[in-house]
């Protein structure tokens, strides 16, 4: 498991470390890419790979959303871990006999071991495993979704949106960069800060960036261009967790998402878009954060709130125009 059992002691979150030093996140160790031409030895192939996620995890949720939007469900099967890790990390206790039915393993670390014996780093989701060999291929959460869009295109559904349109890539990358630093990772820097000044700086960064993003979204429906892109996926996965866990557990509490009219409407718009809200499991999210990070929540008590009804209320963002799927179509109902 990633976490410490006493308040204030050290721990990890994926390849990230927190504790006595400032929270830092290093590069993914397994960064092979699954590509159309198979240049790393892993060609895109329907049915060959298995995506392993925790529905609690924002980085894994990106992959869940992109997989749904692009219609990769048949090509890339899905394993969902228990939201609570034990001392051997992510486990398949939600499956019969506690084993993933396709990979036949009880713990995700078995796929890491199959790839590199005695790998000393953390075991993290999202992970993509090669089913025939049982080996981990990649846990590079920054690249996985981009490759779904650009490398897996032969297997996309008819009507799949372009989540990373070529002419907009520079702008998307720039927007995502600031959101990653100050929001996606910023909430972790805030939550795992070990000193008052470090906490205050990180918290300030989170809200300064949220204010900037809120201004950007006041008169445009999506972050870049007229349609949903990878940038929206990456902002959404943090926003959807904000009031449920980051506001309380990570002390990002200058205000709630639901107190910013623009961001709250933007997040509801995406939540109500097929492929976004239907991947979200608030129970997994809350139990994971509040029960696993015992260093910052020693009792493991999971709060009862917030009330989730608001997510389904009208957002009126269609008045801003925009075409969520561009020339494409929404994904079909969740299977
Ligand atoms: N793989 C990335 C990010 C993914 C990540 O941190 N995932 C978390 C869950 S949100 C995880 O699997 N942590 C492993 C652990 O807590 O043991 C990293 O290493 O920093």
pLDDT tens, residue by residue, 299-308: 999 999 999 9
**How many domains does the chain divide into?**
1
Nearest to 278 by CA among 314, 244, 307, 236: 236
- Answer yes or no: is 295 within a domain: yes
Residue 266 lies in a domain: yes
Answer whether residue 60 shows pLDDT above 50: yes
Q: Does an H or E element contain 24, and which?
A: strand 24-25
Nearest-atom index, ligand 1, CA of 122: 17
Q: In the chain, pLDDT over 70 holds for what percent of residues?
A: 93
Question: CA geometry: angle at 195 spanning 192 and 198, to 5°?
Answer: 75
The domain in which residue 316 lies consists of: 167-320
Exactly one of 49, 188, 199, 290 is catalytic; which is it?
A: 188
57 is catalytic: yes
From 1, 14, 15, the mutation candidate for ligand 1 (largest count of ligand atoms within 8 A of CB) is 14
For residue 124, the CA-to-ligand 1 centroid distance in Å is: 4
Q: What pairing do the DSSP bridges indicate for beta strands 11-13 and 16-18?
A: antiparallel
CB 4 less than 6 A from any atom of ligand 1:
no
- Is residue 12 within 8 A of residue 2, CB to CB? The reply is yes
User: Do 79 and 100 contact (CB within 8 A), yes or no?
Assistant: yes
Give Cα 266 to chain centroid, integer Å: 18
Residue-level length of the chain: 335
Tell me: pLDDT of 3 over 90: no
Per-residue pLDDT at 248 exceeds 90: yes
Please give the distance, rounded to the nearest whole angstrom, from the Cα atom of residue 264 to the centre of ligand 1: 26
Say how many Å lie between the CA of residue 256 and the centre of ligand 1. Answer: 25
- With cut-offs at 50, 70 and 90, classify the pLDDT of residue 40: very high
Is 39 buried (19+), middle (13-18) or exposed (0-12) by CB count in 10 A? exposed
Structural domain includes residue 335: no
188 among known catalytic residues: yes
- Mean pLDDT throughout 289-310? 96
Residue 144 maps to a domain: no
| CATH code for the domain of 251 | 1.20.1050.10
Judge whether 80 lies within some domain: no
d(CA 136, CA 125): 11
Which pTM was predicted? Answer: 0.94
Residue nearest to atom 14 of ligand 1 (CA): 14
User: Are residues 272 and 312 in contact, defined by beta-carbon separation less than 8 angstroms?
Assistant: yes
In a domain, 54, yes or no: no
Q: Domain for residue 290, yes or no?
A: yes
Does residue 225 belong to any structural domain of this protein?
A: yes
């Amino acid at each position: 498991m990633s976490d410490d059992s006493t308040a204030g002691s050290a721990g990890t979150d994926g390849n990230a470390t927190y504790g006595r030093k400032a929270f830092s996140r290093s590069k993914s160790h397994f960064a092979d890419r699954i590509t159309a031409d198979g240049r790393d030895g892993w060609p895109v192939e329907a049915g060959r790979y298995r995506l392993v996620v925790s529905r609690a995890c924002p980085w894994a949720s990106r992959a869940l959303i992109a997989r749904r939007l692009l219609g990769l469900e048949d090509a890339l099967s899905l394993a969902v871990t228990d939201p609570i890790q034990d001392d051997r990390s992510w486990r398949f206790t939600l499956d019969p006999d506690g084993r993933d039915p396709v990979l036949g393993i009880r713990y995700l670390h078995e796929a890491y071991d199959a790839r590199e014996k005695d790998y000393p780093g953390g075991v993290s989701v999202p992970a993509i495993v090669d089913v025939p060999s049982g080996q981990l291929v990649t846990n590079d959460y920054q690249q996985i979704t981009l490759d779904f869009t650009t490398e897996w295109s032969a297997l996309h559904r008819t009507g799949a949106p372009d989540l990373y349109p070529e002419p907009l890539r520079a702008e998307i990358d720039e927007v995502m960069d600031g959101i990653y630093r100050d929001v996606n990772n910023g909430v972790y820097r805030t939550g795992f800060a070990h000193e008052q000044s470090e906490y205050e700086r990180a918290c300030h960064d989170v809200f300064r960036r949220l204010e900037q993003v809120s201004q950007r979204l006041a008169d445009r429906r999506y972050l870049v261009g007229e349609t949903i892109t990878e940038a929206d996926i990456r902002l959404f996965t943090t926003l959807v967790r904000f009031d449920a866990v980051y506001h309380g557990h990570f002390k990002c509490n200058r205000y709630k998402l639901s107190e910013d009219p623009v961001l709250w409407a933007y997040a509801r718009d995406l939540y109500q878009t097929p492929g976004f809200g239907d991947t979200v499991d608030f129970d997994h999210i809350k139990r994971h954060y509040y029960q696993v990070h015992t260093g910052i929540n020693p009792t493991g008590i999971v709060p009862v709130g917030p009330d989730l009804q608001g997510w389904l209320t009208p957002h009126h963002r269609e008045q801003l125009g925009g075409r969520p799927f561009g020339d494409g179509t929404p994904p079909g109902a969740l299977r």
